[in-house]
Structure 1
Amino acid sequence: MCDGTDYLPKAGPRGPIAALQRAADLASLAGAWIAGLCIVALTLLVLIDTLMAFVSRMIPAFPSGTGVGWEYSAYLMGAAFLLGSGMTLRAGLQLRVELLLAAGKGRFARLIECMSALLGCIVTVPLTVWLAQFAHRTWTYGEVSQDSFTPLWIPQVVLAVGAGILAFQMVARLFTALIGHPVNNPALGAASAIE
């Protein structure tokens, strides 16, 4: 039975920073699984809308779509993007400027990793707070979407959680880089990085 810990390193660095990194990896792994489910749901929704449009050309009385396809596709795409971003970062599959990391034959790689992780923290932590506040405000006002009357706080909370996972991974990455441990774990990736 796979409980998600099979993908995490069994032996390696110890201490509070390593524990923080493992916790960030677990949160990122959970987010990545949910992101995968969002992609599956998005694909099914697009296929259903496409099939309905095809059938409606032959049977004019048949509805041409679900009516919420575009709206829910946007929710699912945003959720997949943010929920999967923490694992993408940890696996080293994000877009990076490798030329800078190789500058000086790698002598400045750790410094550049620390600086980029710090910049990532500066962006992602406030983004998480802002998205959480935005979702709370929407919940307080009881706002719903115009097409499906979906309470808008639901997709907004999902985005805030995804941003929180990415921020958590960024903070763990910063501390991991500062103590000199490897910041990427390619074993966590579902694919190889594009060279």
Structure 2
Amino acid sequence: MALTLLVLADIFLAFFSRYLHFIPSGTGIGWEYSAYLMGAAFLLGAGMTLRAGLQLRVELVMSSSHRIVVRVLEVVSAILGSAVSVTMAVWLFNFTLRTYGYGEVSQESYTPLWVPQAVLTLGASVLAFQMVARLVSALAGHPLENPTLGAASAIE
């Protein structure tokens, strides 16, 4: 919601500043905060999307293959996903700690940069946890998805 309001505020300011010259052409922090909010929205929702089974997949391969082949593909994809997401979470955690240690702030809003970076780190950590949980479930032969957790169906 904050992302939508921020983008709308920048759009309205840009429009009205053309006709009323005393109105600024933007918020000044619109691009900066929009980028962090978009990253946070994506990463914070990715873990639940994965668990609900609403992520994009190659269903043609999965539905036409034998059960054993599907399980092997699930394990391999979970290994790759775990490696990438854990690496990203660790990297973002170190990046956030370094930014905090240096005391870096935004040039536009003077916001301490570790604050939005911590939200990104949290989202990446949730995704990494879910990928590792998926790997463990795939190796154990348990169901990998829980469609009741989704807010919509996979078709939507």
Identify the TM-score tier after normalising by the shorter chain. Answer: over 0.9
1:153-188 per-position Cα deviation (integer Å, ceiling 9, x unaligned): 111111111110001101111111122221011111
Query: Are residues 1:130 and 2:91 paired?
Result: yes
Taking the aligned partners of 2:41 and 2:60, their CA distance within structure 1 comes to 29
Local SS of the residue matching 1:191: coil
Paired residue for 1:187?
Answer: 148
How far did residue 194 of structure 1 move?
Answer: 3.6
> Pick from 173, 177, 187: which aligns with 2:138?
177
Secondary structure of the corresponding residue to residue 17 of structure 2: helix
TM-score scaled by length of structure 2: 0.93
Matched, 1:70 2:31: yes
Q: Is 1:50 the counterpart of 2:3 in the alignment?
A: no
Q: Percent identity at matched positions?
A: 65
1:43-192 to 2 correspondence within 5 Å? 43-192=4-153
Asked whether the equivalents of residues 103 and 109 of structure 1 are also in contact (C-alpha less than 8 Å), the reply is no
Partners of 2:65 and 2:82 in 1: CA distance: 26
Write the deviation string for residues 118-175 of structure 1: whole angstroms up to 9, x where unpaired: 1111111121111100100011111112222221111111111111000110111111
SS where residue 172 of structure 1 aligns? helix
User: Which runs of 5 or more residues in structure 2 are unaligned?
Assistant: none
Aligned residues: 156
Distance 1:104 1:186 in 2: 21
TM-score by length of 1: 0.75
57-66 vs 80-89, greater mean Cα deviation: 57-66
Q: Give the C-alpha shift of residue 58 in structure 1.
A: 2.3
Give the drift of 1:57.
2.1
Amino acid at match of 2:4: T
Measure, in 2, the Cα distance between the counterparts of 1:107 and 1:98: 15
Backbone CA RMSD of aligned residues: 1.5
Which whole-Å CA distance do the structure 2 matches of 1:120 and 1:90 have between them? 13
